[in-house]
């Protein structure tokens, strides 16, 4: 069992997405990023990326937009291919910015996220 990360004051601790289909969301994030899940009934599951936890909630309406959630990844080329293969849509291919490179994508519910790296 993975060691539980300590909670850090004033840091992002949990992210929750309203989704239209929990099974579809679990499949996408499992295939694209290897996340794991704990089910809490038919309308909610918690995800873990090995560092941070969050939840998929099917009791509301998926509402893309809001803050951009940024994931870290070492191999952007491979991750971009995995996102596409899992059913995501690349909205901004890999580009450089001060401090690194990143790409942005939407998941099957239309949420836009980014993945960045320092190299």
Token duo for residue 39: 């089910």
pLDDT in tens, 36-45: 999 999 999 9
Domains annotated for the chain, with CATH where assigned, are: 14-117 (3.10.180.10)
Q: Residue 100 pLDDT > 60, yes or no?
A: yes
Strand partners, 15: 54
pTM of the model: 0.83
With a cut of 50, say whether residue 48 has pLDDT above it. yes
Tokens at 102, concatenated? 């990143």
Residue-level pLDDT at 1: 44
Q: What pairs with residue 48 in β-bridges?
A: 36, 53
Q: For the chain, give the mean pLDDT.
A: 91
Cα(89)–Cα(84) distance, integer angstroms: 6
Q: Answer whether residue 5 shows pLDDT above 90.
A: no
> How much is the pLDDT for 12?
75
- Rounded Cα gap, residues 73 and 44, in angstroms: 26
pLDDT of residue 4: 63
- DSSP-based three-state secondary structure for 85: helix
């Amino acid at each position: 069992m993975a060691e539980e990360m300590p909670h850090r004051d004033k840091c992002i601790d949990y992210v929750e997405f309203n989704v239209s289909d929990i099974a579809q969301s679990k499949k996408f994030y499992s295939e694209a990023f290897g996340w794991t899940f704990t089910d809490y009934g038919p309308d909610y599951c918690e995800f873990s990326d090995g560092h941070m936890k969050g939840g998929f909630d099917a009791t509301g309406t998926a509402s893309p937009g809001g803050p951009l959630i940024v994931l870290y990844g070492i191999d952007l080329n491979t991750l971009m291919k995995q996102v596409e293969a899992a059913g995501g849509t690349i909205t901004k291919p890999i580009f450089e910015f001060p401090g690194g490179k990143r790409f942005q994508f939407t998941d099957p519910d239309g949420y836009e996220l980014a993945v960045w790296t320092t190299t």
